[in-house]
């Protein structure tokens, strides 16, 4: 989930840029779906929400050439806040915050 604060006069151009970014991400392996949105009470607040097979797929997508070219310039405008969330529905195991061994 990436949120953006965009002045209203820039909204139409930003919408096109966000669509291009979304399309670039959607072409990457592990992408499951996504939506673009604008806040109904604050039209300067936009969001791009994407769902991925796992966080590694999302992180690998960000390093792809097409994503760097078409999505990263727009994604770099996101508000500086955590953007990766896990599903927390009943019965799901939540991530445990701890250092992991790689070997």
Distance CA 71, CA 56 (A): 17
Radius of gyration of the chain (CA): 15
pLDDT digits 0-9 by tens, 47-87: 999 999 988 999 999 999 999 999 999 999 999 998 888 88
Distance CA 67, CA 74 (A): 10
User: Which residues is 51 bridged to in the sheet?
Assistant: 33
pLDDT digits 0-9 by tens, 16-27: 999 999 999 999
Distance CA 64, CA 69 (A): 9
| Banded model confidence at residue 94, pLDDT cuts 50, 70, 90 | confident
Element (H, E) at 13: helix 11-26
Instruction: Enter the tokens of residue 8.
Output: 């209203």
pTM surpassing 0.75? yes
Residue 103 has pLDDT above 70, yes or no: no
């Amino acid at each position: 989930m990436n949120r953006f604060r965009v002045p209203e006069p820039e909204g139409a151009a930003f919408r096109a840029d966000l669509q291009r970014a979304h399309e670039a991400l959607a072409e990457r392996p592990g992408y499951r779906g996504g939506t673009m949105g604008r806040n109904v009470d604050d039209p300067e607040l936009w969001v791009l929400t994407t769902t991925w097979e796992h966080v590694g797929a999302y992180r690998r997508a960000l390093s792809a050439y097409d994503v760097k070219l078409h999505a990263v310039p727009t994604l770099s405008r996101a508000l500086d806040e955590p953007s990766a969330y896990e599903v927390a529905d009943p019965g799901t195991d939540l991530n445990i915050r701890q250092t992991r061994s790689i070997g």
